[in-house]
Amino acid sequence: MDAAVADTAGQFELNEDQRAIQEMTRAFAAERVAPHALEWDKARHFPDDVIRATGELGFGGIYVKDDVGGSGLGRLDAVLIFEALAAADPAFSSFISIHNMAAWMIDRFGDDAQRQRFLPDIASMRQLASYCLTEPSSGSDAAALKTKAVRAGGNGSDYVLNGAKQFISGAGASDVYVVMARTGEDGPKGISTLVVPKDAPGLSFGAVENKMGWHMQPTRQVIFEDCKVPAENLLSGEGRGFSIAMAGLDGGRLNIAACSLGGAQSALDKALAYTAERKAFGQAINQFQALQFKLADMETELQAARLFLYAAASRLDRKAPDASKWSAMAKRLVTDTGFAVANDALQLLGGYGYLHDYGVEKLVRDLRVHQILEGTNEIMRVIVARHLIGRQ
Ligand SMILES: Cc1cc2nc3c(=O)[nH]c(=O)nc-3n(C[C@H](O)[C@H](O)[C@H](O)COP(=O)(O)OP(=O)(O)OC[C@H]3O[C@@H](n4cnc5c(N)ncnc54)[C@H](O)[C@@H]3O)c2cc1C
């Protein structure tokens, strides 16, 4: 185990600042998010005001540098924030996670003029940002993307985009789209990243997808029809887009894992409370050893996932050479564990687990997609195996 991991009652050793961040986030989530999560889910309501209010807490640019309004925090700090928000609502937390991934890509790969132009609004959440990689015919095989960006205008002052992005979280609600598009040859080397504002001519959105979970945020196609974007919105030069997209995902995967962890913890807490109250065969059902063993396993697996995630995040903070592998391992492990724990919690509530008002079925639905997006869990295994075999 990493030297930075100390076993204090099964918890990662957090410093005082990190505990304060956790407390502040929990307080916000308990007051502004948790009481509304079920209603937002049912009404498929996007709580634009509450999302933007997180900007006041510095959640719009958690690991964006502070010269452009970011909070300048680390990856472990971010994980703590997403975990705490997800305990109230994983769908809410994951929306903010994707916004942060897009913000960081501009911070890390934008030049100073781009950082100054885009990030103060994004970090404060006056503007929301989406990440656009997936296309109708390419998901896991992202390097096969077809959306084209062609240099045009006098002196090549613009790019003109044509194509479509699929499954884009926040599409239509966001103000800024960080788009991977093809400017050159087939494969990863022909891909570039452009920042596309919502009011760009030729940009439109598909219908809102009818999903299993994540109901409080819209998922739609983003459609480019001769969509004109100034050439100065290109991040870091042509041909760098695929590595920019993958770098964004390293942190994104930790964040989405944190969303699973928080959601699963909430499911376990609900199961603990319910099994203490519910009676069958003359006693509280938590007196049956079969249920106790189930609860013990859920706690053990969740704590193990938490330690692993915190260790992976601190590796990315230290820019460890194997940080990408650890992000992939953490994403796979924590999202699988989180889903299994939430699903077990549903079982422990019996028929009530299946009812919306008890809150657990929503957690199961919300956590299921974390095994699919930001790279499926099969692709996480591909990444880990590549690192392992490549070392031989
Ligand atoms: C609700 C939601 C929100 C999303 N938000 C965004 C977003 O904001 N931005 C964005 O860009 N994308 C987003 N996505 C897209 C998501 O990242 C993709 O769905 C995901 O990467 C998988 O791509 P795909 O759906 O095309 O599946 P495919 O790539 O077609 O995969 C189908 C199946 O084949 C498996 N598979 C594919 N290749 C391999 C392989 N080499 N080895 C083993 N198994 C393999 C996959 O694991 C999967 O089980 C979102 C998706 C959903 C559902």
For the domain that residue 366 is a member of, what is the CATH number?
1.20.140.10
First-to-last alpha carbon distance for the chain, in angstroms, is 23
Q: Is the pLDDT of residue 188 over 90?
A: yes
Residue 7 lies in a domain: no
For 158-169, how does the pLDDT look when each residue is reduced to its tens digit (9 = 90+)? 999 999 999 999
In this structure, are 256 and 382 located in the same domain? yes
C-alpha 128 – ligand 1 centre gap (Å):
23
Rounded Cα distance between 100 and 74, Å, is: 12
End of a domain among 96, 123, 150? 123
Tokens of 100: 């942060």
Residue 3 lies in a domain: no
Tokens of 85: 């928000």
With beta carbons less than 8 A apart as the criterion, state whether 149 and 117 touch: no
Average pLDDT, the chain: 95
Return the pLDDT at 390: 84
Q: In Å, how far are 107, 165, 211, 223, 231 from 236, measured between CA atoms?
A: 11, 21, 35, 23, 11
Rounded mean pLDDT of 231-253?
96
Name the domain count of the chain.
Answer: 3
Domain that holds residue 208: 129-239
In this structure, are 375 and 258 located in the same domain? yes
What are the start-end ranges of the H helices in the chain? 16-28, 37-43, 48-53, 75-88, 90-109, 112-123, 241-277, 289-317, 323-348, 360-368, 377-390
In this structure, are 23 and 162 located in the same domain? no
End of a domain among 239, 263, 279? 239
- At 240, the amino acid letter reads R
Rounded mean pLDDT of 317-337?
96
DSSP 236: S
Q: CB within 8 A of 229, min separation 6: which ones?
A: 149, 158, 159, 160, 161, 194, 195, 196, 197, 200
How many residues are there in the chain?
392
Residue 10 lies in a domain: no
Distance of CA 110 to the CA centre of its chain: 21
Taken in order 84, 87, 88, 92, the sign of the CA dihedral is positive
Residue 55 lies in a domain: yes
Rounded Cα distance between 317 and 257, Å, is: 16
Return the pLDDT at 10: 44
CB neighbours (10 Å) of residue 45? 13
In this structure, are 119 and 133 located in the same domain? no
CB neighbours (10 Å) of residue 355? 11
For 90-127, how does the pLDDT look when each residue is reduced to its tens digit (9 = 90+)? 999 999 999 999 999 999 999 999 999 999 999 999 99
What Rg, from alpha-carbon coordinates, does the chain have? 21
End of a domain among 105, 123, 141? 123
27-40: burial string, b at 16+ Cβ within 10 Å, e else: ebbeebbbebbeeb
Return the pLDDT at 154: 81
Q: Is the pLDDT of residue 232 over 60?
A: yes
In this structure, are 261 and 171 located in the same domain? no
In this structure, are 227 and 355 located in the same domain? no
Residue 1 lies in a domain: no
Strand 283-284 relative to strand 234-235: parallel, antiparallel, unpaired? unpaired
In this structure, are 68 and 111 located in the same domain? yes
Q: Atom 48 of ligand 1 has which residue's CA nearest to it?
A: 376
Percent of the chain with pLDDT over 70: 96
In this structure, are 94 and 143 located in the same domain? no
Q: Is the pLDDT of residue 80 over 50?
A: yes
Which secondary structure element, helix H or strand E, spans residue 149, and what is its range?
strand 148-152
Q: Atom 37 of ligand 1 has which residue's CA nearest to it?
A: 140
Task: From 247, 251, 244, select the one nearest 77 (Cα to Cα).
Answer: 251
Does the beta carbon of 295 lie inside 6 Å of ligand 1? no
Q: Per residue, what are the HEC states of 302-339? A: HHHHHHHHHHHHHHHHCCCCCHHHHHHHHHHHHHHHHH
In this structure, are 380 and 284 located in the same domain? yes
Closest ligand 1 atom to the C-alpha of 211?
A: 1
With beta carbons less than 8 A apart as the criterion, state whether 94 and 86 touch: yes
In this structure, are 75 and 41 located in the same domain? yes
C-alpha 213 – ligand 1 centre gap (Å):
16
- 0.85 surpassed by pTM: yes
Residue 8 lies in a domain: no
C-alpha 138 – ligand 1 centre gap (Å):
8
In this structure, are 155 and 110 located in the same domain? no
Write the CATH number for 93. Answer: 1.10.540.10
Residue 367 lies in a domain: yes
Q: Is the pLDDT of residue 6 over 70?
A: no
Residue 119 lies in a domain: yes
C-alpha 139 – ligand 1 centre gap (Å):
5
- Candidates 134, 166, 176, 379: which one to mutate for ligand 1, based on the most atoms within 8 Å of Cβ? 134
Write the CATH number for 200. Answer: 2.40.110.10
With beta carbons less than 8 A apart as the criterion, state whether 298 and 271 touch: yes
In this structure, are 287 and 370 located in the same domain? yes
Residue with tokens 């295994």: 381
Q: Is the pLDDT of residue 385 over 80?
A: yes
